[in-house]
Amino acid sequence: MFNSIIKPSLVLLLVAFAASFSLSHIQKITYPNIIKMEKEKQDLALKLVLPGYRITGSKKAKVEGKEFEYWTAEKEEGGTAGYAFMVAGNGYSGPVESIVGIDDRGTILGMSILKQSETPGLGARCVEVSSKETLFDKLLEKTARNEIYMPWFQKQFSGLNSGEKIRILKKGEWNEGLMESLRKENAVLAITGATVTSVTVTESIKNGHELLKKALASGAEKKEAGK
């Protein structure tokens, strides 16, 4: 009776130890590659949200008791200053993390959602790509393989004022023809059935802009964005 209890327990203990050791070893091996991939993803996102700008460095400042990191940039033609910063907010299913690029007037140059775990078909549409290609194009092999398609929800933030409240409008499904009217209203089209995700992103950008202004005002930069 004693052996029938001890033996299975020892086997389970050995299996658990072997599994823990294996996972720990695998993590040590893969961790550098994970960090490298995240860095490459971040660098690509910076280029995406600061088109036509050259990254001049990254800085950190203590804002509201927390460390705030941002990047400085300079326009390749004209020398206009630009900035990029990370923002995050609580979506419907978890955190939604984005990176935003703005010029020295606070105009959004681009934004890219890096992480999200929203509901597929609803909030997850924040990373949905609206391709201009049709089935007919694909059948005729007219696919523009080198063209990068920006997710429609993220694309509509370009040209908006990050220092002011970004309105959320419900006008049905997205189409390119809405861009101009949305910019005039400093607004974006809501994701159908996912108002929480839409609000999370817009509010996180506004909050991130405020943190950037405080970081710049602390003396780290001479010129304040969107003042």
What local confidence, expressed as pLDDT, does residue 121 receive?
85
pLDDT in tens, 134-176: 444 444 454 444 445 678 999 999 999 998 999 999 888 888 8
Average pLDDT of the residues of the chain: 81
Domain boundaries, the chain: 50-220
37-46, 107-116, 197-206, range with the lowest pLDDT: 37-46
What local confidence, expressed as pLDDT, does residue 144 receive?
46
What local confidence, expressed as pLDDT, does residue 215 receive?
92
pLDDT in tens, 70-126: 999 998 887 789 999 999 999 999 999 999 999 999 999 999 999 998 889 888 999
- The DSSP bridge pattern shows strands 81-90 and 95-103 to be antiparallel
- The DSSP bridge pattern shows strands 187-189 and 167-169 to be parallel
What local confidence, expressed as pLDDT, does residue 96 receive?
94
Region of 189 please: left (phi>0), alpha (psi -120 to 50) or beta: beta
Q: For the stretch 135-150, what's the b/e string if a residue is b when 16 or more beta carbons lie within 10 angstroms of its beta carbon? A: eeeeeeeeeeeeeeee
pLDDT in tens, 11-30: 677 777 666 766 666 666 66
What local confidence, expressed as pLDDT, does residue 138 receive?
46
What local confidence, expressed as pLDDT, does residue 11 receive?
66
36-50, 64-78, 179-193, 197-211, range with the lowest pLDDT: 36-50
